[in-house]
Amino acid sequence: MVLSDRQTEIIDKSISIIGTKGIQGLTIKNLSKEIGISEPAIYRHFESKTAILITILDNFKEMASFMGATMKGNNGAAMEKIEFMFTQIIEVFSVTPCFISVIFSEEVFKNENILKEKVIEIMDQNEQTIETIIKQGQDKGEIRTDIDNNTLALMIMGTLRFRVKQWDLKNYHGDMKNEGARLIANLKLILAPSN
């Protein structure tokens, strides 16, 4: 979806509001004040707050699709691919921490089926990419085979999710990039084939 300049501004301000006031603070009223236009003017560009959040989530889905396609075309070692993916995800969250509030808002989205489904699509897409990388690595003898690729993918994603969410709850205290590097180093040990 190609956004107009005004729609892009609305999305950017929405992300900024989420970063300062949380996802519950994103209201059309707060948004109109931030941008300096009337509430009806916002509704000319997006029919609802849900439509704004769908657009933000669609951008994440596009990133996940791009990442999956990039990994599919990459012939590198499995751990190199996983490290690249993790580094990219951590970079996005480090630069724009409020994205964590959007991606990990499944509790808030529980009653909004369309938002919940978007988050599930993103999670499923990332899980499938990691499962495929692990399976290819197992087939090449790069990754342990005593645990199936589905379980390893869940362990990896759960660990990343926990670390990112913990950083978010601690108000971004600490260096997420260093934490990510430590996490990747330990994953290499965990995923290495047994001798």
User: Are residues 98 and 128 both part of a single domain?
Assistant: yes
79 and 141 share one domain: yes
CA distance 83 to 78: 9
Average pLDDT over residues 27-55: 93
The CATH number linked to 9 is 1.10.10.60
Q: Which two tokens stand for residue 193?
A: 């084939």
Q: Is the pLDDT of residue 64 over 90?
A: no
Q: What pLDDT shows up at residue 108?
A: 66
145: amino acid identity, one letter: T
28 inside domain: yes
The answer on 182 and 138 residing in a single domain is: yes
- pLDDT confidence of residue 74: 84
Does residue 129 lie in a domain region? yes
Q: Does 97 lie in the same domain as 183? A: yes
- Residue 107, pLDDT score: 65
Q: Which residues contact 157 (CB under 8 A, 6 or more apart)?
A: 123, 126, 127, 130
Same domain, 69 and 122: yes
93 belongs to a structural domain:
yes
Co-location of 63 and 148 in the same domain = yes
61 shares a domain with 14: no
Question: The whole model's pTM is what?
Answer: 0.84
Task: Output the six-digit token pair for 157.
Answer: 């994603």
Q: Which pLDDT score, from 0 to 100, does residue 68 have?
A: 86
What value does the mean pLDDT of the chain take? Answer: 88
| 8 and 64 housed in the same domain | no
Is there a domain that residue 117 lies in? yes
- Does 94 lie in the same domain as 75? yes
Q: Can you give the pLDDT at residue 40? A: 94
Question: What is the secondary structure of the chain as a DSSP string?
Answer: -PPPHHHHHHHHHHHHHHHHH-GGG--HHHHHHHHTS-HHHHHTT-SSHHHHHHHHHHHHHHHHHHHHHHHHT--S-HHHHHHHHHHHHHHHHHH-THHHHHHT-HHHHTT-HHHHHHHHHHHHHHHHHHHHHHHHHHHTTSS-SSS-HHHHHHHHHHHHHHHHHHHHHTTT-S-HHHHHHHHHHHHHHHHSPP-
Segment 167-185 shows an average pLDDT of: 86
What is the rounded average pLDDT of the residues 67-77?
Answer: 86
Number of separate domains in the chain: 2
For 75-101, the pLDDT digits (tens) are 889 999 999 988 888 888 888 887 887
Residues 75 and 32 in one domain: no
Mean pLDDT for 102-117 is 77
Mean pLDDT of 95-110: 76
Asked whether residue 110 carries a pLDDT value surpassing 80, the answer given is no
Residue-level pLDDT at 18: 85
Residue 67 has pLDDT above 80, yes or no: yes
Whether 17 maps to a domain, the answer reads yes
Q: 150 pLDDT exceeds 90?
A: yes
**pLDDT of residue 16 exceeding 80:** yes
Which residues contact residue 148 at a Cβ distance below 8 angstroms, ignoring those fewer than 6 apart?
Answer: none
For 6, half-sphere exposure in the C-beta direction (CA atoms, 13 angstrom radius) is 10
Tell me, what CATH number does 158's domain have?
1.10.357.10
Range of the domain at 95: 57-191
Q: Are residues 137 and 162 in the same domain?
A: yes
Q: Is residue 52 part of a domain?
A: no
Q: Which whole-number Å values give the CA distances from 122 to 21, 42, 56, 60, 117, in the listed order? A: 24, 27, 12, 7, 9
75 and 134: one domain? yes
- State yes or no: pLDDT of 179 exceeds 70: yes
Identify which has the larger pLDDT, 67 or 132: 132
